[in-house]
């Protein structure tokens, strides 16, 4: 394993009953890198992420910063700095924006920054959330809710931020705004693993891309090699 590897997944495999949703899959995210996983609906993207976090049973190995974390619980992985923004956001709809954000810090109660400093950092990225700090999360627009979900993940001071289709259900302009914010975070050194179904959006940001199709990695490419849907379709249709 190379010295700069942040996350390495080896032969991760998962079943639902008799359905082999994730065939043995290996991938790598280096320190400071942004890696994208593209694939059609049902390809196994969410299963792969859930297996990485041990939210779903799997076989195979997961290494983080050179350490074998295969035996660690989801919570312990979060404490190590692996934080995911789940598909569908998973906010507490009846709680305020502030409460949702603050809850994100629970895996790092005595992190490097104070709670107020962490909140200020989130507000610098998403000024709209500051205006809505006392609003009930469930009353926000879809885009604002996704900002809360990303903000909540950042409150945990992640070393690797994993996002499962953050653009889902959002207007293109809002989705682009969120993707661009991820780009800014990455330029500051945050490792990011972005799962997307919408290739044109993800490719604004992507440098290295894994294409997942039918539960396996069909290709690993530099993003510059994917110029059209046609290029991707050949992998999707394996
Ligand atoms: N809880 C589950 N029980 C049974 N089958 C599931 C479950 N979750 C996902 N699957 C199946 O596993 C495959 C991969 O699903 P998923 O990982 O959600 O794909 P993606 O995120 O790429 O859309 C699909 O065929 C899906 O129907
Ligand atoms: Mg999914």
Task: Tell me the per-residue pLDDT of 77-123, one tens digit each, with 9 for 90 and over.
Answer: 999 999 999 998 889 999 999 999 999 998 877 778 889 999 999 99
Model pLDDT, residue 238 = 53
Cα 63 versus chain centre, distance: 17
Q: Distance between CA atoms of 158 and 15, rounded to whole angstroms?
A: 28
Q: Closest Cα to atom 2, ligand 1: which residue? A: 16
Residue 166 φ then ψ, to 5°: -65, -20
Pocket test for ligand 1, best of 14, 15, 16, 162 (most atoms within 8 A of CB): 16
- Mapped onto helix, strand or coil, the DSSP state of residue 129 is helix
How far does residue 108's CA lie from ligand 1's centre (Å)?
31
Closest ligand to C-alpha of residue 214 is 1
| pLDDT above 60: residue 2 | no
The pLDDT, as a whole number, for residue 158 is 96
User: Which segments of the chain are extended strands (E)?
Assistant: 5-16, 19-30, 34-38, 59-64, 67-68, 82-85, 160-164, 191-196, 208-213, 216-222
Domain ranges of the chain: 1-81+161-238, 86-158
The model's pLDDT over 33-81, given as tens digits with 9 standing for 90+, comes to 999 999 999 999 999 999 999 999 999 999 999 999 999 999 999 999 9
Which of these CATH numbers, 1.10.3720.10, 3.40.50.300, 1.20.140.10, 3.30.565.10, describes 1-81+161-238?
3.40.50.300
């Amino acid at each position: 394993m190379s010295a700069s590897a942040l996350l390495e997944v080896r032969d991760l495999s998962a079943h639902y009953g008799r359905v082999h949703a994730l065939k043995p899959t290996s991938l790598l995210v280096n320190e400071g890198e942004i890696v994208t996983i593209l694939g059609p609906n049902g390809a196994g993207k969410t299963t792969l992420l859930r297996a990485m976090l041990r939210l779903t049973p799997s076989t195979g190995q997961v290494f983080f910063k050179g350490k074998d974390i295969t035996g660690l619980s989801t919570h312990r992985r979060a404490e190590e700095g692996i934080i995911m923004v789940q598909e569908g956001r998973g906010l507490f709809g009846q709680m305020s924006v502030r409460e949702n954000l603050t809850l994100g810090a629970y895996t790092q109660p005595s992190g490097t920054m104070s709670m107020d400093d962490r909140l200020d950092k989130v507000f610098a990225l998403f000024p709209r959330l500051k205006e809505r700090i006392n609003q009930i999360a469930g009353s926000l627009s879809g885009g604002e809710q996704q900002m809360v979900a990303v903000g909540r993940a950042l409150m945990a001071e992640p070393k690797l931020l994993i996002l499962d289709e953050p653009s889902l259900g959002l207007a293109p302009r809002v989705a682009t705004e969120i993707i661009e914010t991820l780009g800014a975070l990455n330029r500051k050194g945050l490792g990011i693993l972005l799962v997307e179904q919408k290739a044109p959006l993800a490719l604004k940001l992507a440098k290295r891309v894994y294409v997942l199709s039918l539960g396996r990695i069909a290709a690993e490419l530099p993003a510059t090699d994917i110029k059209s849907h046609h290029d991707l379709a050949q992998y999707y249709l394996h």
